[in-house]
Amino acid sequence: MRQESVVSGQESLSAQIGMAIMETIIEKYRPSNGTEGDNFMEHWCFRCQRDKPEDEEYCPILGKTFALSADDPEYPVEWRFDQFGIPCCTAFAPTDSSIPPPRCTSTGDLFAGVTT
């Protein structure tokens, strides 16, 4: 019985460490000024399926970045720094493609920090 309890405790500790690592890997991005924000949106938002003002379809991620501070728990994690320290939007869907289905929020990211 003692061995089972030790294994269970190790698994719990492993899960906690894994979550801590994932939290430190994701560094949210918030532009430091309007020019930086315009450049980011020109590169990502204005070429994305999720934001189509002409059809009155607005990206909720973009809206939240204007309304919330980066340290707010509701601030979008999709706006983050990649593994090279470059700001990106992980929800980006090019205008010439379809929007992928949403990820399961109950499943951990197996490829955290890996981009293609």
- Per-residue pLDDT tens digits of the chain, which is 116 residues long: 444 444 445 566 766 666 555 555 689 999 999 999 999 999 999 999 888 777 778 899 999 999 999 899 999 999 999 989 999 999 998 988 777 677 777 777 666 666 55
Q: Is residue 110 part of a domain?
A: no
Q: Is residue 82 part of a domain?
A: yes
The pTM assigned to this predicted structure is 0.63
What is the per-residue pLDDT for 81? 93
Provide the domain count of the chain.
1
Positive or negative: CA dihedral 80, 72, 75, 41: negative
Q: Is residue 98 part of a domain?
A: no
Pure H helices in the chain: 2-25, 34-43, 60-67
Q: Which of 77, 69, 76 is nearest to 26 (CA)?
A: 77
The contacts of residue 97 (CB under 8 Å, 6+ apart) are: 49
What is the per-residue pLDDT for 54? 76
Q: How many CB atoms lie within 10 A of CB 92?
A: 16
Residue 18 lies in domain: 2-89
Q: Is residue 101 part of a domain?
A: no
Q: Is residue 34 part of a domain?
A: yes
The contacts of residue 113 (CB under 8 Å, 6+ apart) are: 25, 82, 83
